[in-house]
């Protein structure tokens, strides 16, 4: 039987944890918007806990083209997923920071919302989970400490005031 001290600690723990919750909003700000499905495809799947809003689309677009996500401020997601090359880089093997050669090419992002998993090997089951992989990869963007690039972005007036840059990735 647990001691009275252990039982007291267990009883207080949920209260302490509830007090430690983040004060930032976890869900996108704004009114949800509909995404028109490409011709012949079913409706775009949207996670119930992460609705698409005009603000979240704007934030995603800004982040996609922001080079500060890489450790040396040289690469954005659009470097390997260039719209001019159908959201790939057109290379046999993609290049990361300091022109390091990767071990595979960048897959297209076209219709990736319909994929049941992300990455070539399926290790991420959502776009949200996928987004942190290339940023942390030492060959791709080499920014394993998310706090570093979050610090670069959090005081930037170019980002919408609703953007909440916290150190916890939503995955």
Residue 23: both structure tokens together: 């004060």
Query: Quick one: three-class SS letters along the chain?
Result: CCCHHHHHHHHHHHHHHHHCCCCCCCCCCCCECCCCCCCCCCCCCCCCCCCCEHHHHHHHHHHHCCHHHCCCCCCCHHHHCEHHHCCECCCCCCECHHHCECCCCCCCCCCHHHCCCECCCCCECCHHHHHHHHHHCCCCCCCCCHHHHHHHHHCCCCCCCCCCCCCCCCC
40 CB contacts (<8 Å, ≥6 apart)?
A: none
Contact 114, 41 (CB under 8 A): yes
| 158 flagged as catalytic | no
Q: Which residue among 128, 140, 147, 158 is the active-site one?
A: 140
Residues with a catalytic annotation lie at 140
């Amino acid at each position: 039987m647990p001691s009275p001290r252990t039982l007291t600690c267990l009883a207080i723990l949920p209260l302490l944890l509830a007090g430690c919750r983040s004060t930032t909003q976890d869900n996108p700000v704004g009114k949800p918007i509909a995404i028109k499905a490409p011709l012949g495809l079913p409706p775009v799947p949207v996670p119930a806990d992460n609705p698409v809003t005009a603000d979240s689309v704007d934030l995603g677009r800004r982040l996609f083209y922001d080079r500060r996500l890489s450790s040396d401020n040289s690469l954005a997601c659009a470097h390997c997923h260039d719209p001019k090359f159908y959201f790939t880089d057109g290379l046999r093997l993609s290049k990361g920071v300091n022109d390091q050669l990767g071990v595979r090419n960048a897959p297209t992002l076209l219709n990736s919302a319909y994929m049941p998993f992300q990455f070539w090997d399926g290790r991420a089951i959502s776009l949200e989970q996928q987004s942190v992989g290339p940023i942390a990869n030492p060959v791709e963007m080499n920014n394993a400490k998310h706090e570093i690039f979050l610090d670069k972005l959090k005081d930037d007036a170019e980002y919408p005031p609703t953007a909440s840059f916290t150190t916890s990735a939503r995955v």
